[in-house]
């Protein structure tokens, strides 16, 4: 096991604890544990960022083990750890990580809004696969490139376009608009769109802050202020100003138009 996968002592401590316990819980099903997200891309903020990790399994987990895994995460959520509410995790079979097409297979996942759920991998998982292959951080198991396959540029670009089209279909949904009205969610949409644009233009992955700065330079003044306010408000709990919400919807439409024109 890699006992110092990150530059942060408290993060390393919780990762070592989680990896040790998960290896014991999953036994022979455990193939490896890896970091993606901000800890892999280099823009981790110890005060605000989440710990994003993937556990690779040898196959889909049996139902009884999924129940034990759920109980494990419920205990961790009650543990009092400063990271108890700031982890995002996925448990995915090794073979499934070789695929780029969406499937209906449901895998155990932990998200901030959903402490434990079984769900298909989101469209954006092509981004995570690429991150894991190019700069994933090993916590336990073999080196990332021994488990993960490179993601073709066209697969990254297809996933990027799918995210925009998904949101384009939501912009008239009252439920989605209520969700997007929160400043942090509105900022998430804008910064993800910056990342999408970066992928479409370069066929590479950047962190959201890196992609935002790139988008400001390449989209010009029209969107620069919205992007700047989204960077500043990405952790805010209040609602976004109505003007910023409307600008965010306009950015989705603009991005969809750019994709159709490609």
CATH of the domain at 138: 3.30.460
Place of tokens 């010009």: 220
Tokens read off for 147: 């488990």
Q: Single out the residue in 115, 147, 179 at which a domain terminates.
A: 147
Q: Report the chain's mean pLDDT, rounded to a whole number.
A: 92
| 128-173 pLDDT tens trace | 999 999 999 999 999 999 888 888 888 888 888 999 999 999 999 9
Phi, psi of 89 (to 5 degrees): -140, 155
Helix (H) or strand (E) holding 129: helix 125-135
SS3 content of the chain, % helix, strand, coil (to 5): 55, 15, 30
119 inside domain:
yes
4 inside domain:
no
* Same domain? 21 vs 70: yes
CA angle 230-212-42, nearest 5°? 110
228 inside domain:
yes
Specify the pLDDT at position 100: 65
pTM of the model: 0.89
171 inside domain:
yes
Residue 20: count of CB within 10 angstroms of its CB: 12
Phi, psi of 234 (to 5 degrees): -70, -15
127 inside domain:
yes
* Same domain? 44 vs 140: yes
Q: Single out the residue in 113, 147, 181 at which a domain terminates.
A: 147
Q: Is 141 in contact with 32 (CB distance < 8 Å)?
A: yes
69 inside domain:
yes
User: Between the CA of residue 2 and those of 13, 16, 19, 33, 178, what are the distances in Å?
Assistant: 11, 8, 10, 10, 42
Phi, psi of 226 (to 5 degrees): -60, -45
Residue 191: count of CB within 10 angstroms of its CB: 20
| 204-224 pLDDT tens trace | 888 889 999 999 999 988 999
Q: Which domain holds residue 187?
A: 153-260
> Mean per-residue pLDDT for 70-75?
95
Q: Is the pLDDT of residue 193 over 90?
A: yes
Diameter of the chain measured on Cα atoms: 54
Q: Is the pLDDT of residue 182 over 80?
A: yes
> Mean per-residue pLDDT for 218-237?
91
3-state secondary structure 15-75: HHHHHHHHHHHHHHHEEEEEECCHHHHCCCCCCCCCEEEEEEECCCCCHHHHHHHHHHHHH
Specify the pLDDT at position 102: 66
| 10-33 pLDDT tens trace | 999 999 999 999 999 999 999 999
- Cα distance between residue 253 and residue 171, in whole Å: 9
Specify the pLDDT at position 59: 95
* Same domain? 96 vs 201: no
Helix (H) or strand (E) holding 89: strand 87-93
- Cα distance between residue 79 and residue 24, in whole Å: 18
Domain count for the chain, please give it. Answer: 2
3 inside domain:
no
Q: What percent of the chain has pLDDT over 70?
A: 99
Specify the pLDDT at position 190: 97
Specify the pLDDT at position 46: 86
2 inside domain:
no
* Same domain? 236 vs 172: yes
Q: Is the pLDDT of residue 36 over 90?
A: yes
* Same domain? 22 vs 66: yes
Specify the pLDDT at position 189: 96
- Cα distance between residue 216 and residue 193, in whole Å: 12
Specify the pLDDT at position 171: 93
């Amino acid at each position: 096991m890699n006992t110092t996968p990150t530059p942060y002592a408290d993060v390393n401590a919780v990762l070592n604890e989680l990896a040790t316990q998960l290896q014991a819980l999953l036994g022979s099903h455990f193939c490896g544990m890896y970091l993606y997200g901000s800890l892999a891309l280099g823009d981790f903020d110890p005060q605000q960022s989440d710990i994003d990790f993937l556990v690779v399994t040898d196959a889909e987990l049996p139902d009884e083990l999924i129940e034990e895994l759920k109980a494990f995460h419920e205990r961790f959520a009650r543990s009092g750890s400063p990271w108890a509410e700031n982890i995002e995790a996925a448990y995915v079979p090794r073979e499934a990580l070789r695929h780029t097409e969406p499937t209906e297979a449901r895998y155990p996942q932990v998200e901030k809004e959903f402490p434990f759920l079984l769900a298909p991998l989101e469209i954006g998982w092509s981004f995570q696969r690429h991150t894991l292959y190019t700069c994933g951080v090993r916590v336990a198991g073999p080196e990332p490139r021994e488990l993960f396959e490179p993601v073709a540029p066209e697969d990254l670009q297809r996933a990027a376009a799918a995210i925009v089209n998904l949101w384009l279909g939501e912009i008239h949904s009252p439920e989605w608009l209520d969700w997007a009205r929160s400043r942090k969610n509105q900022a998430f949409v804008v910064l993800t769109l910056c990342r999408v644009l970066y992928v479409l233009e370069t066929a590479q992955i950047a962190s959201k802050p890196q992609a935002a700065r790139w988008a400001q330079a390449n989209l010009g003044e029209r969107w620069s202020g919205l992007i700047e306010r989204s960077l500043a408000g990405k952790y805010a709990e209040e609602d976004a100003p109505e003007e910023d919400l409307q600008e965010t919807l306009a950015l989705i439409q603009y991005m969809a138009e750019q994709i159709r024109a490609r």
